[in-house]
Amino acid sequence: MNTEAQNKTNKQIGKRVLICFLILAAGWLGMAALSSLKKAPSETKTVERALKVEALAVEPQDRPVVITGYGEVEALRVVTIASEVAGKVVYTHTALHIGEMIPKGETMFRIDPADYEAALQEAQAGVSQWENTVARLKKQMTIDTQRLKTLQRNAQLAKSEYERVKRLYDKNKIGTISGVEQAERSFNSVSDQADQMAQAVSLYPLQIREAESSLLSARARLSVAQTNLSRCTVQAPFDARIKSASVETGQFVSPGQNVVTLADDTLLEIKVPLDSRDARKWLQFEKIDSSQPSAAWFAPLKPVSCTIRWTEDKNGSTWTGTLDRVVTFDQKTRTVSVAIRIPAASTQATENRMLPLVEGMFCMVDIPGRTLYQVFQLPRNAVNFENEAYIVNAENRLETVTVSVKRVQGDHVYVKEGLERGNRVIVTRLIDPLENALIEVIEPETAKEPTS
């Protein structure tokens, strides 16, 4: 019983194994049949793709440095007019308004001169009075000097008479004692008159000097009166533009009160602050003359021509000025301010300039500096922040080189070291390019968008 059951079980297991094997064999044959139906793909060759860029063949050249700064146009001469005398304003110029022009010598305003005319007449009378006093004293001194001579002669004669009478009485007893005394009194009286006259004559020079001093004082008061009267009329000291005016007819003004501010537009100036490092490296100074006394200040600047552009129209109107001087040095901001002067003839509007250059315009100024010798000029985006540039080598492959940038100026950089004559520098902006990548140089007019 047990043997038969065991044989039956073994037969069932063998059947199952045979069935599994047949299924696997059928699957394998099916796969082989399907594989025989599939065609092998054609072989594709791998081709390296070139990076299209613009490149610039560079040559070393001498390049002048241009220092750019900004500043506001100002009138070189601005004068504030204040009233020098007190009084009521009786006249004002019809053009005494902000922005108007008043020619040189024209009366801007006038103060009531009545009080000052009276003061002038009083001063003139005082001068005349003291002139007469001096003349009188001089004439009186001449007369009294002559009288003194007469009195002195009379005194001599009286003395002689007294001595004669006294001698006759003392020796010969001729005459009387009263006659002697009378002669003595006459002598003493004439001598006293002569002494008084001598004293008066000796005081005349002092009296004349005192009178002359008073005359000088009176003349000074006359000069002040004349000056005050002239100050009642205020004239334009030059061809002036009115910057501010605070005076009206009928207004009372006091001495020292600012009433009008004038600007002279015949000469303009722009004060431009520059970085002290740029000033040290690139500004052109004159050679110091050893014969001149030394001074702890900057040497004179070379008067180079500067280009001026209004910031509201940088690509439009331009004007020309001249570098004049160093104005200030500011240690806090580390800037050196220089002045550029522009004559009125260079500021006017023309066919190419719709507006003139006027005070108040904020302008960009290009100042020619020293020259960079034998440098390579590249577009600014040709050198990255790590001072690296990309060139196309002889195998048309990208190569990274480290360069020495001497100056960044506008849209250009000036490279001194790291490049060689004839190098083709890639000017297309690249972001992390692959070193030794294949390069195809294209013409600028066919350039595409920047490549990453």
Q: Which of the residue ranges 61-65, 352-356, 394-398 would you say has the lowest mean pLDDT?
A: 352-356
- Average pLDDT, whole number, for the chain? 87
- Assign 130 a pLDDT band (cuts: 50, 70, 90): very high
Tokens representing 15 are 């059947």
396 sits in the region (left: phi over 0; alpha: psi -120 to 50; else beta) called left
Over the chain, what HEC string results?
Answer: CHHHHHHHHHHHHHHHHHHHHHHHHHHHHHHHHHHHHCCCCCCCCCCCCCEEECEEECCCEEEEEEEEEEEEEEEEEEEEEECCCCEEEEEECCCCCCCCEECCCCEEEEECCHHHHHHHHHHHHHHHHHHHHHHHHHHHHHHHHHHHHHHHHHHHHHHHHHHHHHHHHHHHCCCCHHHHHHHHHHHHHHHHHHHHHHHHHHHHHHHHHHHHHHHHHHHHHHHHHHHHHHCCEEECCCCEEEEEECCCCCCEECCCCEEEEEEEEEEEEEEEEEEHHHHHHHCCECCCCCCCCCCCCCCCECCCEEEEEEHHHCCCCEEEEEEEEEEEEECCCCEEEEEEEEEHHHCCCCCCCCCCCCCCCEEEEEEEEEEEEEEEEEEHHHECCCCEEEEECCCCEEEEEECEEEEEECCEEEEEECCCCCCEEECCCCCCCCCCCEEEECCHHHCCCCCC
Question: Per CATH, which fold does 57-63+263-286+297-446 belong to?
Answer: 2.40.420
Domain boundaries along the sequence of the chain: 57-63+263-286+297-446, 84-112+232-256, 115-230
Comparing 375 with 38, which gets the higher pLDDT? Answer: 375
What span, in angstroms and rounded, lies between the C-alpha atoms of 108 and 92? 6
Burial per residue of 406-417, b for 16 or more beta-carbon CB atoms within 10 angstroms, e otherwise:
bbebeeebbbbe
Residue 446 has a pLDDT of 41
What are 66-81's pLDDT values in tens digits?
999 999 999 999 999 9
Residue 451: pLDDT over 50: no
- Assign 444 a pLDDT band (cuts: 50, 70, 90): low
pTM of the model: 0.67
- Assign 42 a pLDDT band (cuts: 50, 70, 90): low
Q: What is the mean pLDDT of residues 359-388?
A: 91
Residue 445 has a pLDDT of 53
Residue 415 has a pLDDT of 92
What are 140-184's pLDDT values in tens digits?
999 988 988 888 888 888 888 878 877 887 777 777 788 777 888
What are 185-231's pLDDT values in tens digits?
888 888 888 888 888 888 889 999 999 999 999 999 999 999 999 99
Q: What is the assigned CATH class of domain 84-112+232-256? A: mainly beta
45, 76, 278, 298, 305 from 321: Cα distances, Å: 67, 13, 20, 21, 6
Residue 452: pLDDT over 50: no
283, 377, 414, 430 from 411: Cα distances, Å: 21, 10, 10, 17
What are 25-34's pLDDT values in tens digits?
888 877 777 7
pLDDT above 90 covers a percentage of the chain that reads 48
Residue 447 has a pLDDT of 39
7, 305, 311, 315 from 352: Cα distances, Å: 120, 20, 17, 12
- Assign 336 a pLDDT band (cuts: 50, 70, 90): very high
Comparing 440 with 13, which gets the higher pLDDT? Answer: 440
pLDDT above 70 covers a percentage of the chain that reads 94
Q: Which of the residue ranges 295-299, 308-312, 435-439 would you say has the lowest mean pLDDT?
A: 295-299
What are 244-285's pLDDT values in tens digits?
999 999 999 999 999 999 999 999 999 999 999 989 999 999
What span, in angstroms and rounded, lies between the C-alpha atoms of 230 and 84? 10
Q: What is the mean pLDDT of residues 72-97?
A: 93
Residue 114 has a pLDDT of 94
Tokens representing 75 are 């009138």
Does the fold of domain 84-112+232-256 match that of domain 57-63+263-286+297-446?
A: no
- Assign 315 a pLDDT band (cuts: 50, 70, 90): confident
What span, in angstroms and rounded, lies between the C-alpha atoms of 427 and 409? 16
Length in residues, the chain: 452
